[in-house]
Structure 1
Amino acid sequence: MTTTQTAAPRSGPSRTGGASRDASPVRTGRLRRPRSTQWAAWAFLAPVVIYLVVFYAYPLYRNVELSVKDYTVRSFVQGGAPFVGFDNYVKVFQDPTFVPAFVHTALFTVVSIVFQFTFGLLLAVFFHQNFRLSGTLRALFLVPWLLPLIVSASTWSWMMNSDSGVINSVLHTFGIPPVNWLTSPTWALVSVIIANIWIGIPFNLVILYSGLQNISVDLYEAASLDGANAWQKFWRITFPLLRPVSAITILLGLVYTLKVFDIIWIMTRGGPGDSSTTFSIWSYQLGFGSTLPDLSPAAAVGNLLIVLALVFGLIYIQVQRKQDNA
C-alpha cells in the first residue's frame, strides 16, 4: 500500500534569500497630502485665478470677439453681430492712418526707451557713489513717476504752450524764436516724446539702481588694483553684470510705452492732423471719437498692440534662454 505524503508549505525564506510568498508585501509610495492641505492650497490659488480670468482672460477674449465680428452700438448692447473674420483687420491695414500710426508708435517707443534707459543708467551709476544727499536727491527724482499722468501731461502742456509757455520764454531769452510745440506737425510728436522720457526716467533709475546694489564691491576694488579707470570699470564690470536687470527694464518699458495714451491725448489729442497719432490714440478715436463708433476696427487696432507686446515678450524670453545657456 502506497502512502501519499503532502509536503507542508514552507514558511521560511527561499533559497534565493527573498521573502516568503505568504508574507504580506509592504507597499511603498508617495505619501498623499491630507485633503485639508489640498483645499487650503486651492483656496490660496483661487483669488489669483479669478483675478486673471476676470481682468485678463475675459477682456482678451472679448476684444478678439469684437475684432472678428461687425459690431455696431445696437448689436453691442443687444447682441447678434455678424461674423466677418479678418475683414476688420484688412480694413485697418488699408486705412490711410495705419502707416503714420505705425511709424509714430515705433518712433515714440524706441526713442523713449533709448533715452529713458540711458539717463536712468547714468543716474543710477551716479547715485551709486553714495555721496552726501544722495538719498534725498534720489527721492526727488521719483517725483515724476509718483505724480498722476494727467498732472504731468497737463504740466508739460502748459510749459510747451506757444504763447505763454515757460520753454518758449527761456528760448526767447537766448534769442531763439518761439516753437509751436503742440500745434506744429513737425514738433507735436517730439513734444510728447520729451514728456514721456521725463516721466519714465525714474522707473529706470529705481530698477537699475537696485541692480547695482547686487554687484559686489570687491570686483571694483580688484579692478582698481589692476589699474582700471572709471570707464573700464563700467564697461567691464557694471554693464555686463546689469544685463539681466537691463533686459527686464527694457521689456517692461516697451510694454508700457506701447500702450501710452494719457500723455499724448492730453497734450495733442493725436494732432495736429495725425502727426502724433499712435495705435493707442487711433484705437480710442475709432471706438469713442465719433457719434458712430467703429468698435470692431478699434478692437482690431488694440489687438495689434497686444501682438506687438507679445512679440517683444517672446524676444526677451529667447534672449534670456541664450544667456542662461551661455
Structure 2
Amino acid sequence: MTTTVTPERTPEPAPAPAPAGHRSSARRRRVYQWLFVAPAVLYLLAFFGFPLVRNILMSFQEYTPTTYFTGEAPFNGLDNWRAVFSNELFGDALWQTVLFTVGSLVGQFTIGLALAVFFTRRFPLSGAVRAVLLLPWLVPMVVSAVVWRRIMDEDHGVLNSFLETLGLSGGGVPWLSSPSVALLSAVLVNIWIGIPFNMVILYGGLQEIPREVHEAAALDGAGPWRTFRSVTLPMLRPVVTVVLVLGFMSTVKVLDLILALTGGGPADSTQTLGTMTYQLSFLQLDFGQGAVVGNVLILISAVFAVLYLRVNRANAGRGK
C-alpha cells in the first residue's frame, strides 16, 4: 500500500505595511477631495437642507405673523396636519394637481416627440424654425400667463375671435371664467410652455441613435412606423425617462402660471397643491398649515427623484 504524502504549503508572507509616506499621501489626497466637495455640501446644507428641516418643524408648530415679533411658535403636534387633511379643498387640490400634471406631461411629451422626429429631417430654415419654437421656453412663465390671459379673454380674446371666424364657436368660450373649462385652459398653456424642453431633449436623444440601425431595419423590410416603434423608441427609453421625470418634478409644483392665469379660480377649480400652499401661507397667514401642504409636495417630488436616480442607475448598468 502506497502512502501519498501531501507536501506542506508554505504560508504566504503577510503583505508589508504601506510606508508611512504612502499613508500620508493617501490621507492628504482624501483631504483635498473633501475640500473640493465642501463648497457644494455647504451650499446644499444652507439653501436646501436648512429650509427643508425648518419647513418640517414649522408644520408641527403654531406659526403665525405674531411669531415674527415674539419669536414664539409653540408645538401643536399633529393639529396642522389634521386641519389640512380635513379641509375639503385639499382633496380637490390634490386631484386637480394630478389632472394638471398628467395632462401637461402627456401633451408636452407627445407634441415634443413629434416635433423632435420631424426636425430629424433636414429642410431649409430648419434651424430658424427650431429657434422660434424655443421662445415659449425662454419667456418668463408669468409673462406667458399674462399674454395667454389676454388671448383667452371671453369677450375680447384673440382665440375666441379666431374660432368665430372659422365658424367653430357661436359665442365666446369662457376659457378662464368657467369652472369646467379653466383647468383645461391652464393645462393647454402649460403644454405650450413645456413643448420646447421636451423637443430639445428628445431631439438630442434621437441624434445619438446611429443611422446604421435604421438602415438595417429598412433592409429587413420594416416600415417607418415599425422602425420607430421597435427600434427608435427602445433606444430612446433612457432619454424618455429623464424627460418625463424631470417634467413631472417641474410641473407638479407649478405656482406662478396658475396664479397669473386664473388665481386658482373660478370657484377653486384650478387650485393645486402649489396654489393651496400659497393661499394658506400668504393669504390666510397660517404658515403651519402651508408648511404641511409644502411637505406633501416635497414628499411627492422626492419619490420621483428617487425613481429618477434608480432608473438612471439601471440604465447605466445596462450600458456597461
TM-score exceeds 0.5:
yes
Picking from 212, 216, 219, the partner of 1:218 is 212
Which sections of structure 1, spanning at least 5 residues, go unmatched? 1-15, 20-24
For residues 226 and 17 of structure 1, the distance between their equivalents in structure 2, rounded to whole angstroms, comes to 63
> Are 1:120 and 2:112 an aligned pair?
yes
Q: Give the structure 2 partner of residue 205 of structure 1.
A: 199
Look at both structures and tell me which one has the larger radius of gyration over its CA atoms: 1
> Are 1:189 and 2:189 an aligned pair?
no
How many residues are aligned here?
A: 306
1:61-96 Cα deviation digits (max 9, x unpaired) = 111011011111112443221112222111101001
Equivalence map 1:299-310=2 (5 Å): 299-310=291-302
Q: Give the structure 2 partner of residue 228 of structure 1.
A: 222
For residues 17 and 313 of structure 1, the distance between their equivalents in structure 2, rounded to whole angstroms, comes to 55
Q: Give the root-mean-square deviation of aligned CA atoms.
A: 2.5
Q: Give the structure 2 partner of residue 13 of structure 1.
A: none
Q: Structure 1 length normalisation: TM-score?
A: 0.87
Equivalence map 1:33-52=2 (5 Å): 33=25, 37-52=29-44
Q: Structure 2 length normalisation: TM-score?
A: 0.89
SS for the counterpart of 1:245 is helix
For residues 61 and 279 of structure 1, the distance between their equivalents in structure 2, rounded to whole angstroms, comes to 20
Q: Which moved more, 1:36-45 or 1:210-219?
A: 36-45
C-alpha deviation, 1:26, in angstroms? 5.0
Picking from 23, 27, 32, the partner of 2:17 is 27
> Are 1:278 and 2:272 an aligned pair?
yes
C-alpha deviation, 1:148, in angstroms? 0.9
> Are 1:109 and 2:101 an aligned pair?
yes
Q: 1:313 to 1:39 in 2, by over 3 A?
A: closer
For residues 105 and 141 of structure 1, the distance between their equivalents in structure 2, rounded to whole angstroms, comes to 27
1:251-292 Cα deviation digits (max 9, x unpaired) = 0000000110111000100001201000000110111114xx
For residues 11 and 276 of structure 2, the distance between their equivalents in structure 1, rounded to whole angstroms, comes to 79
Of all paired residues, the percent bearing the same amino acid is 46
1:184-210 Cα deviation digits (max 9, x unpaired) = 111111111111000001001111111
Q: Which moved more, 1:107-116 or 1:42-51?
A: 42-51
For residues 81 and 198 of structure 1, the distance between their equivalents in structure 2, rounded to whole angstroms, comes to 43
SS for the counterpart of 1:307 is helix
Picking from 88, 100, 120, the partner of 2:92 is 100
For 1:189, the aligned partner's letter is L
For residues 26 and 308 of structure 1, the distance between their equivalents in structure 2, rounded to whole angstroms, comes to 53
Q: Give the structure 2 partner of residue 252 of structure 1.
A: 246
Q: Give the structure 2 partner of residue 237 of structure 1.
A: 231
C-alpha deviation, 1:97, in angstroms? 0.4
For residues 71 and 57 of structure 1, the distance between their equivalents in structure 2, rounded to whole angstroms, comes to 20
For residues 226 and 82 of structure 2, the distance between their equivalents in structure 1, rounded to whole angstroms, comes to 52
For residues 206 and 186 of structure 1, the distance between their equivalents in structure 2, rounded to whole angstroms, comes to 33
Picking from 147, 155, 162, the partner of 1:155 is 147
Q: 1:18 to 1:51 in 2, by over 3 A?
A: closer
Which sections of structure 2, spanning at least 5 residues, go unmatched? 1-8
Q: Give the structure 2 partner of residue 265 of structure 1.
A: 259
Q: 1:95 to 1:227 in 2, by over 3 A?
A: same
For residues 10 and 306 of structure 2, the distance between their equivalents in structure 1, rounded to whole angstroms, comes to 59
1:128-186 Cα deviation digits (max 9, x unpaired) = 12332222111111110011111111111110011111001011112312111111111
Q: Give the structure 2 partner of residue 85 of structure 1.
A: 77
SS for the counterpart of 2:37 is helix
